[in-house]
Amino acid sequence: MLHTPLTISIDGSGWMMPARHCYSPNFSARPEGVAVSLLVVHNISLPPGQFGNGWIERFFCNRLEPDTHPYFATIASLQVSSHVLITRAGELVQFVSFNDRAWHAGRSSFDGVDECNDYSIGVELEGTDTLAYTEAQYQVLAQLTRALLAHFPALNTKRIAGHCDIAPGRKTDPGAAFDWDKYYAQIASS
Protein backbone atom coordinates (compact mmCIF):
# COMPACT_ATOMS: atom_id res chain seq x y z
CA MET A 1 0.00 0.00 0.00
CA LEU A 2 1.35 3.42 -0.94
CA HIS A 3 1.80 6.02 1.73
CA THR A 4 -0.16 9.25 1.25
CA PRO A 5 2.18 11.96 -0.08
CA LEU A 6 3.13 14.49 2.57
CA THR A 7 3.58 18.19 2.21
CA ILE A 8 6.51 18.71 4.53
CA SER A 9 7.34 22.23 5.60
CA ILE A 10 10.27 23.40 7.70
CA ASP A 11 9.86 26.59 9.69
CA GLY A 12 12.52 29.18 10.45
CA SER A 13 13.33 27.55 13.77
CA GLY A 14 14.15 24.25 12.05
CA TRP A 15 11.05 22.25 13.02
CA MET A 16 9.00 20.40 10.44
CA MET A 17 5.36 19.76 9.97
CA PRO A 18 3.76 17.32 9.86
CA ALA A 19 5.72 15.47 12.51
CA ARG A 20 5.34 14.45 16.10
CA HIS A 21 7.82 16.47 18.14
CA CYS A 22 9.61 14.61 20.92
CA TYR A 23 12.22 17.03 22.24
CA SER A 24 15.64 15.54 23.03
CA PRO A 25 18.09 17.27 25.37
CA ASN A 26 20.95 15.70 23.38
CA PHE A 27 21.92 18.49 21.01
CA SER A 28 24.07 21.59 20.84
CA ALA A 29 24.45 24.64 18.64
CA ARG A 30 26.08 24.18 15.27
CA PRO A 31 29.42 25.98 14.95
CA GLU A 32 29.02 29.57 13.78
CA GLY A 33 28.88 29.90 10.01
CA VAL A 34 28.60 26.14 9.34
CA ALA A 35 25.86 25.29 6.83
CA VAL A 36 23.87 22.07 6.73
CA SER A 37 25.44 20.20 3.81
CA LEU A 38 25.08 16.47 4.54
CA LEU A 39 22.21 14.06 5.15
CA VAL A 40 23.08 10.87 7.04
CA VAL A 41 20.80 7.82 6.90
CA HIS A 42 20.87 5.53 9.96
CA ASN A 43 18.87 2.66 11.37
CA ILE A 44 17.89 1.80 14.92
CA SER A 45 15.73 -0.72 16.73
CA LEU A 46 15.37 -1.19 20.47
CA PRO A 47 15.81 -3.82 21.67
CA PRO A 48 17.68 -4.92 18.55
CA GLY A 49 15.26 -6.29 15.97
CA GLN A 50 12.11 -5.13 17.80
CA PHE A 51 9.85 -2.35 16.54
CA GLY A 52 6.98 -0.09 17.50
CA ASN A 53 7.44 -0.05 21.25
CA GLY A 54 8.52 3.54 22.07
CA TRP A 55 12.00 2.65 23.31
CA ILE A 56 13.76 4.70 20.62
CA GLU A 57 12.04 7.88 21.78
CA ARG A 58 12.94 7.09 25.38
CA PHE A 59 16.55 6.44 24.40
CA PHE A 60 16.91 9.75 22.52
CA CYS A 61 15.33 11.59 25.47
CA ASN A 62 17.53 9.96 28.17
CA ARG A 63 14.60 8.04 29.64
CA LEU A 64 15.68 4.50 28.82
CA GLU A 65 15.42 2.27 31.89
CA PRO A 66 18.55 0.09 32.08
CA ASP A 67 16.89 -2.77 33.96
CA THR A 68 14.05 -3.20 31.44
CA HIS A 69 16.13 -5.24 28.97
CA PRO A 70 19.71 -6.57 29.20
CA TYR A 71 20.75 -4.57 26.11
CA PHE A 72 19.48 -1.34 27.64
CA ALA A 73 21.99 -1.66 30.48
CA THR A 74 24.78 -1.26 27.90
CA ILE A 75 23.37 1.89 26.27
CA ALA A 76 21.16 3.72 28.81
CA SER A 77 23.94 6.09 29.88
CA LEU A 78 24.68 7.23 26.32
CA GLN A 79 23.51 10.69 25.34
CA VAL A 80 22.62 10.48 21.66
CA SER A 81 19.90 11.77 19.39
CA SER A 82 18.92 12.18 15.80
CA HIS A 83 17.02 14.92 14.09
CA VAL A 84 14.29 12.58 12.85
CA LEU A 85 13.01 9.02 13.19
CA ILE A 86 10.88 7.40 10.50
CA THR A 87 8.96 4.50 12.03
CA ARG A 88 8.08 1.28 10.20
CA ALA A 89 4.62 2.76 9.54
CA GLY A 90 6.13 5.93 8.06
CA GLU A 91 5.46 8.25 11.01
CA LEU A 92 7.84 11.20 11.32
CA VAL A 93 9.16 11.95 14.81
CA GLN A 94 11.46 14.96 15.19
CA PHE A 95 13.77 15.18 18.20
CA VAL A 96 16.10 18.10 17.39
CA SER A 97 15.69 21.23 15.29
CA PHE A 98 17.44 21.01 11.94
CA ASN A 99 19.15 24.29 12.90
CA ASP A 100 20.91 22.54 15.79
CA ARG A 101 23.51 19.79 15.98
CA ALA A 102 21.99 16.43 16.93
CA TRP A 103 24.38 13.86 18.39
CA HIS A 104 23.92 11.09 15.81
CA ALA A 105 27.16 10.57 13.88
CA GLY A 106 29.85 10.21 16.53
CA ARG A 107 33.44 10.27 15.30
CA SER A 108 32.96 10.67 11.57
CA SER A 109 34.21 12.22 8.34
CA PHE A 110 32.72 13.02 4.94
CA ASP A 111 34.63 14.28 1.92
CA GLY A 112 37.66 14.97 4.12
CA VAL A 113 35.77 17.01 6.72
CA ASP A 114 35.60 15.53 10.23
CA GLU A 115 32.83 15.84 12.84
CA CYS A 116 29.80 15.29 10.63
CA ASN A 117 27.40 16.28 13.42
CA ASP A 118 28.53 19.88 12.87
CA TYR A 119 27.13 20.06 9.32
CA SER A 120 24.71 17.16 8.92
CA ILE A 121 21.14 16.10 9.50
CA GLY A 122 20.63 12.62 10.91
CA VAL A 123 17.60 10.56 9.91
CA GLU A 124 16.97 7.26 11.66
CA LEU A 125 14.92 4.53 10.02
CA GLU A 126 13.34 2.11 12.45
CA GLY A 127 14.98 -1.08 11.25
CA THR A 128 18.05 -3.27 11.08
CA ASP A 129 20.89 -3.80 8.61
CA THR A 130 19.38 -7.04 7.35
CA LEU A 131 15.58 -6.64 7.41
CA ALA A 132 13.91 -4.91 4.47
CA TYR A 133 12.65 -1.40 5.14
CA THR A 134 8.98 -0.67 4.52
CA GLU A 135 7.56 1.04 1.47
CA ALA A 136 6.16 3.73 3.78
CA GLN A 137 9.66 4.43 5.09
CA TYR A 138 11.11 4.85 1.59
CA GLN A 139 8.28 7.14 0.54
CA VAL A 140 8.47 9.33 3.65
CA LEU A 141 12.28 9.43 3.54
CA ALA A 142 12.15 10.57 -0.11
CA GLN A 143 9.55 13.24 0.72
CA LEU A 144 11.61 14.44 3.69
CA THR A 145 14.76 14.48 1.57
CA ARG A 146 13.09 16.63 -1.08
CA ALA A 147 11.97 19.09 1.61
CA LEU A 148 15.48 19.22 3.10
CA LEU A 149 17.07 19.72 -0.33
CA ALA A 150 14.71 22.65 -0.96
CA HIS A 151 15.35 24.18 2.48
CA PHE A 152 19.15 23.85 2.74
CA PRO A 153 21.00 25.20 -0.34
CA ALA A 154 24.32 23.48 0.50
CA LEU A 155 22.65 20.06 0.58
CA ASN A 156 22.40 18.01 -2.64
CA THR A 157 21.95 14.36 -3.62
CA LYS A 158 25.73 13.83 -3.79
CA ARG A 159 25.88 14.75 -0.12
CA ILE A 160 23.71 11.93 1.20
CA ALA A 161 25.49 9.10 2.99
CA GLY A 162 24.88 6.14 5.23
CA HIS A 163 26.29 6.06 8.74
CA CYS A 164 28.54 3.29 7.41
CA ASP A 165 30.04 5.73 4.88
CA ILE A 166 30.99 8.40 7.41
CA ALA A 167 32.18 6.00 10.13
CA PRO A 168 33.51 2.97 8.23
CA GLY A 169 34.68 0.09 10.38
CA ARG A 170 32.68 1.47 13.31
CA LYS A 171 29.14 1.59 11.90
CA THR A 172 27.27 -0.57 9.37
CA ASP A 173 23.88 1.12 9.08
CA PRO A 174 21.63 1.50 7.20
CA GLY A 175 23.00 -1.88 6.06
CA ALA A 176 22.63 -4.17 3.08
CA ALA A 177 18.83 -4.13 3.44
CA PHE A 178 18.67 -0.45 2.42
CA ASP A 179 17.96 -0.04 -1.31
CA TRP A 180 19.85 3.09 -2.32
CA ASP A 181 18.67 2.88 -5.96
CA LYS A 182 15.04 2.76 -4.87
CA TYR A 183 15.58 5.70 -2.52
CA TYR A 184 17.25 7.86 -5.19
CA ALA A 185 14.52 6.99 -7.71
CA GLN A 186 11.87 8.09 -5.24
CA ILE A 187 13.70 11.35 -4.53
CA ALA A 188 13.71 12.08 -8.27
CA SER A 189 9.99 11.36 -8.72
CA SER A 190 7.45 14.00 -7.80
In 3D, which of 129, 49, 51, 48 has the Cα closest to residue 87? 51
Distance CA 25, CA 60 (A): 8
**What are residue 28's DSSP bridge partners?**
101
Regions of the chain short of the pLDDT cut 50: 1-2
For domain 35-188, say whether CATH 3.40.80.10 is its number: yes
Q: Which of 32, 57, 65, 124 is catalytic?
A: 124
Which pLDDT tens digit goes with each residue over 50-91? 999 999 999 999 999 999 999 999 999 999 999 999 999 999
Residue 12 CA to its chain's centroid (Å): 20
Distance CA 159, CA 67 (A): 39
Is 124 an active-site residue?
yes
Domain ranges of the chain: 35-188
Q: What is the pTM assigned to this prediction?
A: 0.96
For the chain, where are the alpha helices, taking DSSP H only?
55-60, 72-75, 135-151, 163-166, 180-188
